[in-house]
Amino acid sequence: MEHKDTLSQTMNVLRDNGYTEDLNLLDEHLENKNKKKTYPIEEFEVDEYFRFEGMSNPGDNSILYAITTADGHKGMLVDGYGVTSGQVSKKMLNKLKIK
């Protein structure tokens, strides 16, 4: 997929490509509140990721992940530049590691 200039533009393109679910990062799994479902590390794949750097504030740095779950749902996860800053497991850090 083509990388757009902003986080919101890229999210719109991903939505158009079927990534409609909003995912949250928890310690050892992802959560889809809309579907009332959680996905352990083994039940999702990171299809693509996109980095965004804030022009004036390093705190605006973020990563957008396009994710497909084992049951076929597609969604997005937005996180700050370092999942290390949150309370996530080492296994989750390795799963989301930027290649």
pLDDT tens sequence for the chain (99 residues): 666 788 999 999 999 999 999 999 988 899 999 999 999 999 999 999 998 876 655 556 888 999 999 999 999 999 876 544 556 778 887 888 754
Torsion of CA 94, 95, 96, 99, to 10 degrees: 70
Q: What's the CA gap between 80 and 65, in Å, rounded?
A: 11
Domain assignment present for 15: yes
Number of domains in the chain: 1
Domain assignment present for 28: yes
pTM for this predicted structure: 0.84
Range of the domain at 76: 7-95
Domain assignment present for 2: no
Domain assignment present for 34: yes
Domain assignment present for 22: yes
Domain assignment present for 64: yes
